[in-house]
Amino acid sequence: MPKETYSVTTPIYYVNAAPHLGTAYTTVAADTVCRYQRMNGKDVALVTGMDEHGQKVADTAADHGMQPQEWCDSMEPAFRNAWEELDIKYTDFVRTTEPRHAVTVQDFWQKLYDKGYLYKGAYEGWYCVHEETYYAESDLEKNEDGKFVCPDCKREVQLMASGEENWFFKLSEFQQPLLDYYESHPDFIRPESRKNEVVSFVSRGLKDLSISRSTFSWGIPLPFDEGHVAYVWADALLAYLTGIGYADESREGEFDIRWPMQYHFVGKDIIRFHCVIWPAMLMAAGLPIAYTVFGHGFLLTKGEKMSKSKGNGLMPSDLIKVFGVDAYRYYFMSDVQFGADGSISMERMVQVYNNELANTWGNLVSRVMNMTKKYFDGKVPNACAHSCENPLKPLADELYQKYDAAMERVDFSGAAAAVQELAARANRYIEETEPFKLAKDPEKQDELECVMYNLLEAIRIIALYMAPFAPHTSEEVYKRLGLGSIQDVEDIKAATEWGQLPAGNPIEVGDPLFPRLDVDNLPELG
């Protein structure tokens, strides 16, 4: 039977600056859930990429004395390297300047043109280049000089009143269909708070959307009017289709099995594009709509949103140097409730690292491996053949259900907490059973075997559940238990059933997985 597909996107990031902690956050979240779903037997696609067109990128290139294409090419390594460093296993990386993406965009808008959803008109109104967004005057704010500024980024907005003719998409026709869709698909916009925001926005009425520009040329020409290039959002959203083979003959059939996707992961700043414009575009094209748009919160430092333009903050690689990639991923996923804004700090990162990774998980592995080496000559002892009490098994037995339910809701903190519970219980089990005392009494050899087997088996199971968060260390633990690669696991439910660690397997002690960190001399976070 073919595997069930599971497809996810990150935003297609603007290339005006390199990825920072905020953009890395969305990408790590998407990768974490994808890694889990691969282990859960799904055929996973993870689409990410670079949003290269539009005025903002053209302006940034000019500021650097470069042509736009040259600037975009120069930024590609920054994105690819950041995702490699963070261990992101994407299946497609779409650059919106690639010819294959132009095919998607032109095919899509031609369809909407043919269906009568587009018309030409003059746009008069306000535009924020930084947000690449049109605003109604009633939504704008004023700065100290009395000038209109963007309500989101507070930069001055531009008046577009040059008599420029644009192509418009009849978005206003979709007000009721969208409201009906939200009503009949309660999981389309998550979390709930974002849904309320979108419903109230759409209820106030929708204006038609200008989807082309003719005063500059940095974009994809519309096939029915080549003097116009697609508005950057009318281009970038379609990268989600390009990333799974839309209009690509060499990927025959892929689009049909992957669309509609399970999740678009986005920050709350771009929820309206994904929950209003995007589904309306798809409805007009006669395509189904992704199951869920999940709008997560912002990472805050000292109460402020981290952003690449403000430059407040470190780059992912600065933190990876201190904590390592696994701890980086684990911290952001476990400590910030996905969906809500979350303050991050170096102090807290050190705390989570030391408590949950060094003391609980890493220490458990070190202690148990060391004892196995000492008492059993570095070999996994026999599993318990008696009816000894084993408090770890019931916890392990219910872990799949808890963890899977949390991952299905993309409640990463919940999933991480469920694994921590087993690791903490295993540490307590060592205190309770005192294997170091059992080892001194030859009559207690059987009991010692049982205890040590239970601990090693708990470690194997924890490694599996930790893998989506912390892939390197889990792989390392698997290796130290004399097992194959976690990457080959395709049925985590079956793989975590109790009692599969083979007796006699040689184990390796190795270095501490998470050496304790000193709080002094850490870099500043913002």
User: Amino acid identity, residue 455?
Assistant: L
Q: What six digits make up the tokens of 41?
A: 């037997």
Answer yes or no whether residue 289 interacts with ligand MSP by CB under 6 A.
no
Question: Rounded to the nearest whole angstrom, what is the least distance from the CB of residue 408 to ligand MSP in the complex?
Answer: 21
Q: Tell me the backbone φ, ψ of residue 230, rounded to 5 degrees.
A: -65, 140
**Per rule CB under 6 A, is residue 82 in the interface with ligand MSP?**
no
**CA dihedral sign of residues 91, 94, 98, 101:** positive
Cα–Cα separations (whole angstroms), residue 239 to 58, 98, 247, 281 = 19, 10, 12, 13
Helix residue ranges, H only, 439-496: 445-466, 471-480, 492-495
Q: Which stretch binds ligand MSP (CB under 6 A): 303-311, 445-453, 485-493, 499-507?
A: 303-311
Helix, strand, or coil (residue 58): helix
155 binds ligand MSP (CB under 6 A): no
What are the phi and psi torsion angles at 5 (to 5°)?
Answer: -85, 155
Q: How far is the CB of 285 from ligand MSP (least distance, A)?
A: 16
Q: Among 178, 236, 407, 483, which residue interacts with ligand MSP (rule: CB under 6 A)?
A: 236
Question: Which residue from 6, 7, 8, 23 is in contact with ligand MSP, where contact means CB under 6 A?
Answer: 23
* Angle, CA 334 vertex, CA 310 and CA 364 arms, to 5°: 130
Q: How far is the CB of 526 from ligand MSP (least distance, A)?
A: 11
Among 7, 11, 334, 467, binds ligand MSP (CB under 6 A): 11
Task: Please say whether the beta carbons of 204 and 216 come within 8 A.
Answer: no
Rounded to whole angstroms, what are the CA distances from 398 to 58, 394, 497?
A: 53, 6, 10
Contact between 237 and ligand MSP (CB under 6 A)?
yes
- Binding flag, residue 282, ligand MSP (CB under 6 A): no
User: How many positions of this chain bind ligand MSP (CB under 6 A)?
Assistant: 20
Contact between 211 and ligand MSP by CB under 6 A: the answer reads no
Residue 276 as a binder of ligand MSP (CB under 6 A): the answer is no
270 binds ligand MSP (CB under 6 A): yes
From candidates 6, 8, 14, 331, binder to ligand MSP by CB under 6 A: 14
Closest contact distance (angstroms) between CB of 70 and ligand MSP is 19
With binding defined as CB under 6 A, does residue 344 bind ligand MSP?
Answer: no
Q: What angle do CA 276, 27, 273 make, to 5 degrees?
A: 10
Rounded to whole angstroms, how far apart are CA atoms 518 and 526?
Answer: 20
Q: Which residues bind ligand MSP (CB under 6 A)?
A: 11-14, 22-23, 25-26, 51, 236-237, 266-267, 269-270, 298-299, 305-307
